[in-house]
């Protein structure tokens, strides 16, 4: 049992190290289970356990089936243990979607204003994630996982550790409700294009140091998707 525990930790540590070093970035796909087994000399069960932990932590999203969209896709870079713990705590709770959206508005409008007011905010992670979303072969699930990661990256760029950790803690709930709404969208390709355009608009306002426009655009972006996809009585 101890040997198996060490084996999955080896897989986990190797993948996290590749992420931290930039060898694996948001939008990249992990090697297949078979390749990881061969590369690291561990059993398939150890690989699967490591991938399960990485998915719970919000670093990857796994898919099933075969073809170019199968396997695991990287959706975020590793961060501190506090944020990972908060994600696990929030994931265990059944948070009302309306409350999640209301909290996002408070946090993300503040983030947008703060970044727009900064002289040189580091938006590289957000830009990298948004660039990964331009891949036309992404499934809706992978696209929306990167979408959630984009918003977390903006929060991290604000420099406020509590705001960033809270957004990371909400990641599972955010991704959950936006993915659940996909079936209600008649033209996913058009919707994905609109979301990308809105993301770029938020970044443009931040780079222009227009705090009012940045806050308004992120608010409209969040509320438009929610209001147009949530079930109505």
Domains and CATH numbers, the chain: 2-74 (1.10.10.10), 81-229 (1.20.120.530)
pLDDT of residue 191: 92
- Residue 1: the pLDDT is 41
Alpha carbons 61 and 51: distance in angstroms, whole number: 9
pLDDT in tens, the chain (233 residues): 444 446 777 888 788 788 877 888 888 999 988 899 999 988 888 888 888 878 877 788 887 655 666 688 988 776 655 555 555 555 545 678 888 899 999 999 999 999 999 999 999 999 999 999 998 888 888 888 889 889 999 999 999 988 888 887 788 778 878 888 888 888 999 999 999 999 999 999 999 999 999 999 999 999 998 888 876 54
pLDDT for 155: 94
Q: What is the pTM of this model?
A: 0.68
Query: How far apart are the C-alpha atoms of 8 and 169, rounded to whole Å?
Result: 24
Q: pLDDT value at position 124?
A: 92
Buried b (16+ CB within 10 A) or exposed e, 102-135: ebbbebbbbbbbbbbeeeebebebbebbbebbee
Other beta carbons within 10 angstroms of residue 55's beta carbon come to 16
């Amino acid at each position: 049992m101890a040997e198996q525990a060490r084996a999955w930790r080896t897989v986990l540590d190797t993948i996290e190290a590749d992420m931290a070093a930039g060898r694996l970035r948001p939008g990249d796909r992990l090697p297949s289970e078979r390749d990881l087994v061969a590369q690291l000399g561990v059993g398939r069960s150890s690989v699967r356990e490591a991938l399960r932990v990485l998915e719970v932590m919000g670093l990857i999203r796994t898919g099933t089936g075969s073809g170019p969209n199968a396997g695991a896709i990287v959706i975020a870079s590793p961060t501190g243990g506090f944020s990972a713990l908060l994600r696990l705590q929030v994931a265990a709770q059944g948070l009302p979607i309306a409350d999640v959206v209301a909290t996002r508005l408070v946090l993300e409008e503040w983030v947008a204003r703060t970044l727009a007011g900064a002289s040189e905010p580091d938006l590289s992670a957000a830009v990298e994630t948004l660039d990964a979303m331009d891949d036309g072969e992404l499934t809706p699930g992978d696209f929306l996982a990167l979408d959630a990661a984009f918003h977390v990256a903006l929060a991290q760029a604000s420099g406020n550790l509590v705001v960033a950790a809270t957004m990371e803690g909400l990641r599972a709930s955010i991704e959950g409700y936006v993915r659940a709404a996909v079936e209600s969208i008649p033209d996913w390709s058009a919707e994905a294009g609109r979301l990308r355009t809105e993301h770029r608009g938020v970044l443009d306002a931040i780079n222009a140091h227009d705090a009012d426009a940045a806050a308004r655009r992120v608010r409209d972006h969040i509320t438009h998707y929610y209001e147009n996809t949530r079930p109505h009585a």
